[in-house]
Amino acid sequence: MTTSTKRNFTKGALTLGSAVVTLTGVAALQQAEAVTATGTGNIQAEIINLPTVAESVVMDFGTFSPGTVPSTAQITPSTGAVTVTVGDASDFGTPSQGVMTITNAPVGVPLTYSATATAPLNDGGVNTMAVSAFVLEDRTDSNAAATLTAPGVITVDVGADLAIGVGQVVGSYTGTYTMNVNY
Amino acid sequence: MRSHLLSACIPLTIVPVSAIAATFPIAVSTSTNIAFGTLDPGVSGGQFRVRPDGSSAPLGGSTVTSLGPLAVQPGQISLAGSTGVAIDLSIATATVVLNGNAGGAMNVNDFNIRTNAGGLAETITLTSTTDTFPVGATLTVSAGQTPGAYTGTFTLNASYQ
């Protein structure tokens, strides 16, 4: 707050006595202060392509003759060969591992894979066979994981175990499985 | 008589002190970036919005998907100034371009300050000398958008009314 006083002493004014007192506020002194400001804000986003997974070869356990005890047939991912690991079922035919391809995977991001059966194999009726213990191996390092160093396609071999019951009903069994790619 | 004349001829102007307020310099910046996170454009791309209330979603018809791991969050504007005085806070331009580190560009617009319908400008009266206010926006992603990290800036203006 400032006070300025103005006195004019003229002959007449002296007689009358004239004084002007003006009180002004702080705001008048603040006009020189900054009353505007400018700042910068930042925005960020990351774009990646969602990997796509497609089946290129159907997993095929071949043909079996059920044994006298419950049996398990196992597909080796890298070779596609079938081995009866439990029981005494007999295998025939031309088996194959499943082959899945992953495209559009982001470069430099670690990926892991997994697979689960959507439902037991079914003969179109009421008879089923369970598939479990999926094993996934990509062809780069035989692991269920990879990190691309450059854009490309990842090929993954898939094996699994098939349960064959005693007296398994004769027929052609089909089913599906789901492969997940996590990153 | 003389005494009467004197008292009648003293003009006195007093500006009421109560109408005068000291104003401190304003400062404005962002303490948190607007972050759209990690997005997949999908088949046809589209828009993805981050709102001041912290919610986020693709807009109608958009195939953009939020994937993580980067956080999705509104920005936070830090505003400093006098309390009890109206301040006009605004974003200078309606559209900001983000540029990718591997090429490509994306537009950001539909800024909203403080509330989901706040728009580009808000009048704010501070209750403390420093406070923060959220800011949201909408990102437009094209189909086949070049993957990469995108960044951009926007200008904030603040002034006493």
The pLDDT of residue B7: 46
The pLDDT of residue A32: 37
Contact B19 A45 (CB under 8 A): no
CA B45 to chain centre: 26
Which of the two residues, A18 and B87, has the higher pLDDT score?
A: B87
Which of the two residues, A183 and B102, has the higher pLDDT score?
A: B102
B77-120 pLDDT, tens digit each: 999 999 999 999 999 999 999 999 999 999 999 999 999 999 99
* Max CA pair span of chain A: 139
Average pLDDT score over residue span B17-32? 73
Q: Does any CB of chain A come closer than 8 Å to the CB of residue B38? A: yes
> Bridge-partner residues for B88, per DSSP?
B123, B159
Instruction: Give the number of other CB atoms < 10 A from CB of residue B28.
Output: 24
pLDDT band of residue A20 (cuts 50, 70, 90) is: very low
The pLDDT of residue A100: 95
Specify the 3-state DSSP secondary structure of B132.
strand
Q: How many residues does chain A have?
A: 183
Cis peptide bond prior to A51, omega within 30° of 0: no
A80-108 pLDDT, tens digit each: 999 999 999 998 889 999 999 998 887 77
A167-182 pLDDT, tens digit each: 999 999 999 999 998 8
Q: Taking a contact as any Cβ pair under 8 Å apart, which residues of chain A between 80 and 119 contact chain B?
A: 106
Which tokens in the block code for residue A50?
């969602």
Residue B125 C-alpha, separation from nearest chain A C-alpha, in angstroms: 14
pLDDT at B143 over 70: yes
Buried b (16+ CB within 10 A) or exposed e, A26-46: eeeebeeeebebebebebbbb
How far is B9 from A68, CA to CA, in rounded Å?
Answer: 128
Contact B160 A47 (CB under 8 A): no
The pLDDT of residue A28: 36
Q: Which of A112-116, A171-175, B65-69, B77-81 has the lowest mean pLDDT?
A: B65-69
pLDDT at B74 over 80: yes
The pLDDT of residue B22: 57
Which of the two residues, A8 and B79, has the higher pLDDT score?
A: B79
Q: Does any CB of chain B come closer than 8 Å to the CB of residue A44? A: yes
Q: Does any CB of chain B come closer than 8 Å to the CB of residue A65? A: no
Q: Which of A87-91, B1-5, B8-12 has the lowest mean pLDDT?
A: B1-5
Average pLDDT score over residue span A51-67? 93
Q: What percent of chain B has pLDDT over 90?
A: 76
pLDDT band of residue A143 (cuts 50, 70, 90) is: confident
pLDDT band of residue B23 (cuts 50, 70, 90) is: low
ipTM for the predicted complex: 0.84
**Which amino acid, B111?**
F
The pLDDT of residue A104: 82
Q: Which residues contact B40 (CB under 8 A, 6 or more apart)?
A: A47, A48, A49, A50, B64, B65, B67
Nearest CA in chain B to A29: B22
The full 3-state SS of chain A, as one line of letters, equals CEEEEEECCCHHHHHHCCEEEEEECHHHHHHHCCCEEEEEEEEEEEECCCCEEEEEECCECCEEECCCCCEEEEECCCCCCEEEEECCCEEECCCECEEEEEECCCCCCCEEEEEEECCCEECCCCCEECEEEEEEEECCCCCCEECCCCCCCEEEEEEEEEEECCCCCCCCCECCEEEEEEC
How far is B141 from A47, CA to CA, in rounded Å?
Answer: 9
Which tokens in the block code for residue A14?
């002296």
Q: Does any CB of chain A come closer than 8 Å to the CB of residue B1? A: no
pLDDT band of residue B127 (cuts 50, 70, 90) is: very high
Which tokens in the block code for residue A155?
């090929």
Which of the two residues, B87 and A21, has the higher pLDDT score?
A: B87
- B72 and B50 Cβ atoms separated by less than 8 Å: yes
> Bridge-partner residues for A118, per DSSP?
none
Average pLDDT score over residue span A42-55? 90
How far is A146 from A152, CA to CA, in rounded Å?
Answer: 12
> Bridge-partner residues for B40, per DSSP?
B65
pLDDT at B4 over 80: no
The pLDDT of residue B32: 95
Residue the block writes with tokens 């088996």: A95
How far is A77 from A142, CA to CA, in rounded Å?
Answer: 9
How far is A12 from B9, CA to CA, in rounded Å?
Answer: 12
Which tokens in the block code for residue B95?
């559209």
